[in-house]
Chains A and B, each alone.
Chain A
């Protein structure tokens, strides 16, 4: 992982509709804009509930951007494109 690579973690809840949508959007976005320069970890809160608490995640889905730059959290299905882009530090 390079210094400018995006380190992302997406918390989902099984087959919840918003979760599936979030998966779809973020994988698409990363493939399109950050190909080869990102790591995306998808954590199912039904399988690993303790991790959610560790990361202080309350609402699912939540996307956490650990790097680059300061830590940023986005809650919801990520359907608001402008917000997601800004949150990830990508051009609008």
Chain B
């Protein structure tokens, strides 16, 4: 076969192919299987629809403000207008031919399925969120209608963007909320405009003013003054504009009824979006009662301090003034003994001896009374933080020789920092440990100093020994002044140590007590404020 013949065969094949296509097209048109025809008219391409004059409707659908989609029963988007595509921030080509579920989040799917199901009865409507663009959501109102088209029940949805409506709703709700708050709050709240006129006043504010102060001049309705004088509206404004502002400033007010109030004034400015001062919001907290209580407390504290001071004075001069005649008593009785010992009868010697001992004992008692009076007094004022471990170490140092000699075993927990004067803490440990040494039984002394935290930030310390113990009947008495449980022969001391401990502990708001049984050792416990305790007081 020659070249031209080959060409011819190819040409014929191509022509046949084109003919077949053209015939198919004509056949399709004849069968009515098409919607429209595209014609190259004199003014460009024209589309001629074969199904009636739908042009105005098409324009309407394309141009309308709402979005619209035509869906098949499974949610396949067969058609969408420009608005819908814009609403979901997706180009039209990426919408048509895709399922609407692409624009639904997982939690919206049940709602959407429900809408579709209801639309089967003709119509359904509901609010949903659609995914818009990469990360956004757009709240919409979906209105679905059944649309039967050539045997298939498609759905036509009109999609209305609710973003604007929602925003307005939110604003209205906020306004309602702020009104409620203003009305119901127990604190007087007032809103003033830039000219000093009261625009809003809650119920509490009206009560404070004694009348309905709405639309009145602020300075007239509330006669307020602070340290610098009368708080006029202009002072209020300049304060509100400045950095300082009005934050819980103590002021006084005289109401129309002649009542005096102590108040805390706070005011914040209201700015317009253009930084223009629209007015300010004021709160007045009534602290009248609190101030009265404070004054009463201060008065009582002063009275108490005076009383204490008086007592101290009394105790001091009493013991001081008693010391001198006592000294004389002791001296002359000693002289008596020196001169007449053995020169009178035996009884006389005994009487003189007893008198001397009594005088000496009384001197000790007076000395102890003096030290008890002064105990816990100085240093005055609030304490710095004391490291209990260091204090204990120093105190134990003074017992060093005794510990070695008696083979005593001393242990301790790690101790906290306490808000107590070191000298007081030292005295506490000194007295308690001294007692433990004094009253230990036959076994070598075992002493343990412990510490644990109580719930309220105070610390509970303990000094535990294996000594002779204290019968429960006397657990209170041991802290009394000059109370001794044992005769002076076996154990020395005047019994004032524990009383001093109690005085010290009480100064810091704590308590001291003992847990003990005869023959089974004792645990002395006492509470003191920790470094950070809110109860630490001078």
Chain A residues proximal to chain B, CB less than 8 Å: 12-21, 23-24, 27, 40-42, 44-47, 49-50, 52-53, 57-62, 73-77, 79
Contacts and interface: CB of A to CB of B under 8 A. Distances in A.
Interface in B19-49: 21, 24-25, 28-29, 31, 33-40, 44-47, 49
Contacts of A79: 33
Contacts of B79: 14-15, 20, 23
B264 to A, nearest CB: 68
Contacts of A62: 25
Given A20-B154, A42-B97, A76 B34 contact: yes
B40 A60 contact: no
A14 B58 contact: yes
B77 to A, nearest CB: 9
A76 B40 contact: no
B70 interface: yes
A49 B47 contact: yes
A40 B149 CA distance: 23
B45 A53 contact: yes
7 contacts: A15-B70, A16-B49, A52-B38, A59-B25, A59-B38, A73-B24, A77-B150
Nearest to A10: B97
A59 B33 CA distance: 9
Interface residues of B, number: 36
Interface of B: 21, 24-25, 28-29, 31, 33-40, 44-47, 49, 51, 54, 58, 61, 70, 72, 76, 78-79, 92-93, 96-97, 149-150, 152, 154
B35 A42 contact: no
A61 B29 CA distance: 10
A15 B38 CA distance: 16
A18 B35 CA distance: 6
Nearest to A28: B76
Contacts of A19: 35, 78
Contact of B150 (A17, A23, A41, A42): A17
B228 to A, nearest CB: 74
B428 to A, nearest CB: 85
A45 B38 contact: yes
B148 to A, nearest CB: 10
A44 B97 CA distance: 12
Contacts of A45: 36, 38, 47
A45 B37 CA distance: 10
A24 B76 contact: yes
A16 B36 contact: yes
Given A17-B51, A24-B72, A45-B47, A76 B96 contact: no
With most chain B CB atoms within 10 A of its CB, the pick from A21, A41, A47 is A21
B97 A23 contact: yes
Contacts of B78: 15, 19-20, 23-24
Contacts of B40: 53
B11 to A, nearest CB: 16
Given A20-B79, A23-B76, A73-B25, 12 more contacts: A15-B70, A17-B150, A20-B149, A27-B76, A42-B97, A45-B38, A46-B58, A49-B44, A73-B21, A75-B24, A77-B33, A77-B34
Given A53-B45, A59-B25, A15 B33 contact: no
Contacts of B72: 20, 24
B86 to A, nearest CB: 14
A18 B96 contact: no
A59 B58 contact: no
Given A20-B70, A20-B78, A20-B79, A75 B97 contact: no
B46 A59 contact: no
A76 B149 contact: no
B171 to A, nearest CB: 38
Given A13-B36, A76-B28, A41 B96 contact: no
A46 B24 contact: no
Given A20-B78, A49-B47, A53-B40, A59 B149 contact: no
A41 B21 contact: no
Contacts of B58: 14-15, 46
Contacts of B46: 49
Contacts of A24: 72, 76, 78, 152
B312 to A, nearest CB: 98
A43 B45 CA distance: 15
A57 B35 CA distance: 13
Contacts of A12: 35
Contacts of B92: 44, 47
A41 B93 CA distance: 8
A62 B33 CA distance: 10
B516 to A, nearest CB: 88
Contact of B29 (A46, A50, A59): A59
Nearest to A19: B35
B83 to A, nearest CB: 14
Contacts of A47: 92
